[in-house]
Amino acid sequence: MAFGRFEDLLTATVFERLAYLSGDTLWGIIRDTFAVPACPKERVAKLKAMQFWPMWSAATDTLGKSVEPDVVLQMLIGESRELWTFIIECKLGRSQDLIQLCDEWEAFRYEAAGEYDPHRTMLLALGGLWSDRRLLPALADYSQKRFGKPLFGAAAGWSDLMNAVARASAASSSEARVLVDIRQALELHGHRIASPLRDLAGAARAIGVRAGCFSISQRGVPDEC
């Protein structure tokens, strides 16, 4: 239960703030976070709608229940303003569930009817990635069996979102403040931009320590560091 509460809080905190960004910046962050070739490459985008926990009941007869995805993001992408729908399922401290993801897809197909376009609808799994990183192949297999075709999906961790937010270029000072706010929210939940060990040599140079510098001193060679 505690995980569920934190999950909802983090989801709302982050996505409510993402909605304040310009369409281009928001789309850049989504593209960077999920880094999938299937995403449209266009950089121009406009936010059409962002819904939190919509209750979808149109497929209740088929699924036996209503379905409630965490976030539904609809964007008009590119100069041609193609409507794309992203069904986002967020997990914090627990794993993504293939059945849940596919239920959400199916529920949207019933719910959206006229707006449903299988080529412009994508499932985005945020957090709760499987340890073997095989969530997407498993989703493709499962959806193939269930629907006769693999679903469009992408997956990323909260840290990927954190890194994407850190890399994003703010279009204005107000956007910069929103980006900082999102980073702080993620940091409060334990997500920080990890520094890889490979960068240590660069950090050492910045400090004024050359690689092997201490070794030279130890061997009695004059210290040139």
Partner 1 sequence: MSVDPALSAALADVRKAYRLLWSYQRRLLDTIGLIAGEFPGVSFASWQPMDFYPPARKSVNPADYWASDLLPLMGADFFYLRHGNDRSMAQRGEWMLVINVTSDSGYEVESPEPDPARFEPAEECESSLELYIVKSTGDVPVRWTDGLWDRMEWPDDFPASILMESPALRAFGMKFDIAELGTSDAVIAAVANFKASAAADLQLDFTA
Report the residue number, 49 or 209, with the smaller CB distance to partner 1.
Answer: 209
73 forms beta bridges with 50, 86
Say whether residue 94 binds partner 1 (CB under 8 A): yes
Is the CB of residue 31 less than 8 Å from the CB of residue 39?
Answer: yes
Give backbone dihedrals phi and psi of 62, rounded to 5 degrees, phi first.
-80, -45
Pairing of strands 121-126, 82-90: parallel
Among 37, 64, 114, 208, binds partner 1 (CB under 8 A): 208
Report the residue number, 5 or 192, with the smaller CB distance to partner 1.
Answer: 192
Q: Which two tokens stand for residue 121?
A: 């609808």
Say whether residue 177 binds partner 1 (CB under 8 A): no
Report the residue number, 119 or 133, with the smaller CB distance to partner 1.
Answer: 133
Say whether residue 217 binds partner 1 (CB under 8 A): yes
Among 198, 220, 221, 224, binds partner 1 (CB under 8 A): 198
Is the CB of residue 35 less than 8 Å from the CB of residue 85?
Answer: no
Nearest residue to 85 via CA among 94, 97, 76, 98: 76
Say whether residue 157 binds partner 1 (CB under 8 A): yes
The residues binding partner 1 (CB under 8 A) are 93-95, 128-133, 157, 159, 192, 194-200, 203-204, 207-209, 214-215, 217-218, 223, 225
